Amino acid sequence: MVNQGIINWVRSQQALGRSLDAIRQGLLMQGYRPQEIEEALRALVPQESKPKGLTLDFKDYRLWLIIAGIVVVLGILVWYFFFRGGTVPPVQTTEETLSLEINDMPDQINEGDSLTFSVMLISDNKDKEYPLKLQTGVTSESGRSFSSLTSEESTTLKAEEPIQKSIGTTKLPGGTYGVFASATYQGETFTVNKTFEVATLNKSSITPLKNDTALLSCQTGCDDHNKCTKDSCTNNQCVFEPQTPCCGNFICETGENNVTCPEDCKIVVIIANKTSDSDLIMMAVKKANVSAQQSLQMCALIQNQYNRDVCYGNAVIAAPSAAKLAFCNSIVDQTRKDYCYSAIATKTINVCDKISDTLLKESCNMQISIKKN
């Protein structure tokens, strides 16, 4: 039976312009057997088929009537426009340009306040009603949207007639965030974004999030905004259970690969290198537990920045505790670096303050406060 996971990965690589040889080599490096690789590749090759031409049955008098009708119509058009001086009427286009605006929104709100704003449709046709699917929500400074703060509705809007929206932000700590409005009309989607600040209140007047987060009552909500934890309520206290593997934390963990989690395990194939980046990454991961310094040096040999960051992020898992921070510090991409800090954070290696993303930093401190060691 053909492995559908291989087929999906091959298609994604073909979309990036990879050759079949490079794809085949990549699959072999992932541990797939040559036989199942060839079966999947053969399944992707379209079967040769002869183009089916139109077979005309000239004995069918109806076909001759259709051809004769077309000839007559063409003759009339030629006579009218060339001999009578006729003009072709202009083509009426129905293409519309639609966009959204966010207005009446404050630049700053206090922690716990609701965010109010208006959404307005912009169109040249001010009398037409547009049935839309409208989505609004809040994103972090890095662009991650919060599912708990996102809403969607089907509505009908007219141009320049704003509708009022309100989003509760009680779970957001102080920091910079974005609000977005996205509308879909006849298969086309258009989006607008706007930033705002959440001002931190006097900590003596509110329940602190850091250090005391393990004692958070379930009434305040247990969403730590971290996709890699399972949030629950036990004995009226929030519990945040780490989930491993976690697709989306930018670390290619055991049980993940380019097919099951390309977001974490994707590697840009560099054909020109004698030793591929994939080989260097595998060697660096194997060497990390024995010699962290040699592992770091192997990752540094990778010229492609994306692959080099992948190398550091994968090797940090196998590295000894004392060397983990050096791997995270070597990562260039800030989002990947933040997730690396979050993954290695313990009470003895508290690097949560190095995280730039506000919500991920709060989530990291939540995890530290409930870890036993």
Q: Where are the domains of the chain?
A: 99-199
Residue 291 confidence (pLDDT) above 60: yes
pLDDT one-digit tens code per residue, 120-149: 999 988 888 999 999 999 988 777 778 788
Find the range with the poorest average confidence among 10-14, 166-170, 202-206, 242-246: 202-206
Give one DSSP letter per residue of 100-112, joined into a string: EEEES--SEEETT
Q: How many CB atoms lie within 10 A of CB 42?
A: 9
Alpha carbon distance 193, 148 (integer Å)? 18
Distance CA 226, CA 148 (A): 12
pLDDT band at 24 (very low <50, low <70, confident <90, very high): confident
**Higher pLDDT, residue 329 or 16:** 329
CA distance linking residue 153 with residue 158, whole number of Å: 16
Predicted local confidence at residue 264, as pLDDT: 65
Which of the pair, 196 or 259, is modelled with greater confidence? Answer: 196
Expressed in percent and rounded to 5, the helix, strand and coil fractions of the chain are 40, 20, 40
Q: Is the pLDDT of residue 270 over 50?
A: no
98, 125, 113, 112: which is closest to 181 by C-alpha? Answer: 98
Q: Is 70 exceeded by the pLDDT of residue 263? A: no
Is pLDDT of 46 > 70?
A: no
What would the mean pLDDT of 33-47 be, rounded to a whole number?
75
CA 238 – CA 254 distance, rounded (Å): 28
pLDDT of 69 over the 60 cut: yes
Query: What is the predicted pLDDT for the residue at 134?
Result: 93
Lowest mean pLDDT among 131-145, 184-198, 235-249, 260-274: 260-274
Does a cis peptide bond (omega within 30 degrees of 0) precede residue 245? Answer: yes
Q: Are 284 and 300 contacting, i.e. CB atoms less than 8 angstroms apart? A: no
* 233 in Cβ contact with 222 (< 8 Å): yes
CA quadruple 288, 269, 258, 335: dihedral, nearest 10: 70
Query: Which of residues 290 and 367 earns the better pLDDT score?
Result: 290
> Which pLDDT band, with edges at 50, 70 and 90, does 248 fall under?
confident
Structure tokens at 170: 């009680």
Contacts 24+ apart (CB under 8 A), 340-345: 340/250, 340/251, 340/312, 340/313, 340/316, 342/226, 342/228, 342/249, 342/367, 343/249, 343/251, 343/316, 343/317, 344/316
Measure the CA angle with vertex 226, ends 220 and 232; round to 5°: 50
Lowest mean pLDDT among 164-173, 237-246, 318-327: 237-246
Q: Indicate the range of 15-29, 54-68, 291-305 predicted with least confidence.
A: 54-68
Q: Identify which has the larger pLDDT, 89 or 161.
A: 161
Structure tokens belonging to residue 82 = 């060339």
The answer to whether the CB of 116 falls within 8 A of the CB of 168 is: no
DSSP label at residue 79: H
- 266: confidence class by pLDDT, cuts 50, 70, 90: low
211: left (phi over 0), alpha (psi -120 to 50) or beta: left
Angle between helices 321-330 and 305-318 (to 10 degrees): 170
pLDDT over 70 percentage in the chain: 77
pLDDT of residue 93: 41
pLDDT tens column, 74-108: 888 776 665 554 444 444 445 678 899 999 899 88
Count CB-CB contacts under 10 A for residue 93.
6
Threshold 0.85, pTM exceeds: no
Mean pLDDT of the chain: 77
Burial class (CB in 10 A: 0-12, 13-18, 19+), 304: middle
CB 342 within 8 A of CB 371: no
Q: HSE of 42 in the Cβ direction (CA atoms, 13 Å)? A: 8
Model pLDDT, residue 83: 57
Ordered alpha helix ranges (H), the chain? 4-15, 20-29, 34-44, 61-83, 262-265, 277-288, 292-300, 305-318, 321-330, 334-344, 358-370
Quote the pLDDT of residue 28.
Answer: 79
Question: Token match 């053969």: residue?
Answer: 42
Query: Per-residue pLDDT averaged across 365-369, rounded?
Result: 76
CA 180 to chain centre: 16
State residue 328's pLDDT score. 92
- Checking if the pLDDT of 230 tops 90, the result is no
Could you tell me the two tokens for 123?
């169109």
Tell me the mean pLDDT in the region 270-275.
Answer: 48
For the chain, give the number of residues: 373
153 pLDDT exceeds 80?
yes
Topology, domain 99-199 = Immunoglobulin-like (2.60.40)
Local confidence band at 296 (pLDDT 50, 70, 90 cut-offs): very high
